[in-house]
Amino acid sequence: MIKLAEIKKSFGDQEILKDISLNVERGKVVAILGPSGSGKTTLLRCLNYLEKPDEGTVSVGEISLDAHSVRKKEIIAIRRQSAMVFQHYNLFSHKTVLQNVMEGLVVVHKMKKSIAREQSKKMLAKVGLEDKLHHYPSQLSGGQQQRVGIARALALNPKVILFDEPTSALDPELVGEVLSVIKEIAKEGITMIIVTHEMTFAREVADYVLFMDEGIIVEEGVPEQIFYNPKEERTKRFLKRLEGDDYDNQNHAGKGVHQHAL
Amino acid sequence: MTIDIPFIWTALREIIKALPITLMLTLIPLCAGFLLGLILAIIRIYKVKILAPFVEMYVSFLRGTPIIMHVMLIYFGLPLLIDKVVKEMDMNVQTNAIPVSLFVLFALSLSAGAYLSETIRSGIVSLPKGQVEAAYATGMTTFQVMRRIVLPQAFAGSIPNFTNVFVGFLHTSSIAFIVSQKEITGAANIVASTNLKFLEAFIAAGMIYWGLTILIEVLSSWIEKRVYSYAKGGIR
């Protein structure tokens, strides 16, 4: 349902994505792992054209865009197929929680306000924020803000939700609440692509894992294979290094694996 | 020289009759300038082809020269231009019949546009980019993003700067006196020279300007409080 073909993207003379191709089936949860600067966020942002690829084809749902012949209308059309959850939440700070979720429904999908309000309340209940409807983002914790971000994405009823490091900006003690919300909605069969550093989470929630480094997909496969039996040297090195560095986050993802002293 | 304090009150009552003209010379340029400034700011932010460099020059020139110059240039220059156009087009317009206040309003509007375009632009630029991306990601058009997300926050964040420009243009309206407009400064001048009590008349005028300025500041902070409820954590 989602297809990337031969995507290339450079910033200046730095090649960020070197010929990436990818297929995601309906209802699958795909996790993209990799060191910083590997191009995983750029890849995600090419999917909704927040970054315009230099070359290649992006298909989401029925819409297919070739980088050489895109028009504004098509970009808007492909964006309406997906929804995004951002690292820094990016809630509209002049709107209440409820208004944040309703905004896309009313403005983009031209839904009647009363219907949009009901649907938004339902989504906010799903992420456990039914008691914060009339609060402003500045009154919420990071974890709560990110859950609003997730409700905002869910409400649009998209073909796919793109998660761009949804817990990276959170205080460690708030990571768990966001991950458990994502796990819940993953069970509902919504297609998701998640860029994350949370290894334990990725292992538990993903149907398929991509490991990226230096603008290419180094290795891909089911979580068991990538985590327990990686074939590529770079994947092995990355996972090994992460076992040391990322113990803190892993603990909060549920099953703590390592207990290092600081 | 002695000062005739009771006369200040007499002068004040006479001068304040010119208040409507001062308000007109302040508010109309600000409103026109706001629309103009909004357009100019958007042209600069989106770097609209061909137009953007002209807008940049326009803003640079008008902010780089005294407003009194703009009034002079328009007052003496525009009639020549209109005469020429009228002649070419064979129309029947008498530039002499155009009221002077229109030239002043036009000149002040052009200046206000330049100043306000910078105020609006800084409000837009200071908005976190992430919110704009989030709006685009839901599939909004550029116009929807501007209207729903960017401008409401840009305007709210610019209230203190708008107040500055407002106060500045209230005081700037006094230069209309040079082309014989009977606004507060002009009226003060008349009261002063007919009674030969200059100091008293201008003290009275000063008090009116100061009072108006305080009024504007009070109004501004009241609006600010209401608009900022979202940023301060209050619930509407």
For residue range B69-89, list pLDDT tens digits in order: 999 999 999 999 988 888 888
Nearest chain B Cα distance for residue A204, angstroms: 28
A90 touches chain B (CB under 8 A): yes
Burial of B81 (0-12, 13-18, 19+ CB in 10 A): exposed
**Token pair of A113 as six digits:** 């306000």
* Contact call for A90 and B139, based on CB within 8 A: no
**Under 8 Å between Cβ of A87 and A164:** yes
Mutate which of B132, B149, B228, B230 to test chain A, going by most A C-beta atoms within 10 A?
B230
Q: What percent of chain A has pLDDT over 90?
A: 85
pLDDT of A217 higher than 80: yes
Contacts of B5 (CB under 8 A, 6+ apart): B200
CB contact under 8 A, B230 and A94: yes
AA identity, residue B44: R
Cβ–Cβ below 8 Å for B131 and A92: yes
Mean pLDDT value across chain A: 90
- Edge-to-edge strands, sheet with A208-213: A82-85, A160-164, A191-195, A29-33, A208-213, A216-221
**pLDDT on residue B230:** 66
Residue A143, chain B, CB below 8 Å: the answer is no
Q: Does A113 touch chain B (CB under 8 A)?
A: no
Q: Is B137–A50 a contact, with Cβ atoms under 8 angstroms apart?
A: yes
Say if residue A180's pLDDT is above 90.
yes
Dihedral (CA of B138, B141, B143, B144) sign: negative
| A8 lies within 8 A of chain B by CB | no
Interface check for A95 against chain B (CB to CB < 8 A): the answer is yes
Query: What pTM does this model have?
Result: 0.85
Q: CA-to-CA distance for B92 and B90, rounded, in angstroms? A: 7
Distance CA A113, CA A30 (A): 34
A256 pLDDT band, cuts 50/70/90, is very low
Dihedral of CA A188/A192/A196/A199: which sign? positive
**Cβ–Cβ < 8 Å for B140, A107:** yes
Instruction: Tally Cβ neighbours within 10 Å of residue B94.
Output: 10
Query: What residues of chain B score a pLDDT lower than 70?
Result: 1, 229-236
DSSP lists the bridge partners of residue A220 as A210
Per-residue pLDDT, averaged over A9-21, amounts to: 93
Instruction: Return the structure tokens found at A20.
Output: 């990436």
pLDDT of residue B235: 44
Residue from the list B128, B136, B229 with its beta carbon closest to the beta carbon of A79: B136
* Cross-chain residue pair B231–A138, CB shorter than 8 Å: yes
Report how many Cβ contacts below 8 Å link chain A to chain B: 77
Q: B228 or A76: whose pLDDT is higher?
A: A76
Q: What is the pLDDT of residue A262?
A: 41
Measured between CA atoms, the residue of chain B closest to residue A45 is B137
**Runs of H (alpha helix) within chain A:** 40-47, 72-79, 97-107, 113-126, 142-155, 172-187, 199-205, 223-228, 233-245, 247-252
Residues of B with CB under 8 A from a CB of A: 128, 130-131, 133-141, 144, 148-149, 152-153, 156, 229-233, 235-236
A131-144 residue pLDDT tens: 999 999 999 999 99
Picking from A83, A86, A138, the nearest residue to B130 by CB comes out as A86
* Residue A139 CB contacts under 8 Å (≥ 6 apart), including other chains: A132, B233, B235
Q: Are B176 and B25 in contact (CB under 8 A)?
A: yes
CB A55 within 8 A of CB A134: no
Residues in chain B within 8 Å Cβ distance of A80: 138-139
In chain B, residues with a C-beta closer than 8 Å to the C-beta of A136 are 229-231, 233, 235
The answer, for A247 touching chain B at a CB cutoff of 8 Å, is: no
Which of A76, A92, A136 has the CB atom closest to B139's CB atom? A76
Chain A residues with CB-CB distance to B144 below 8 A: 107-108
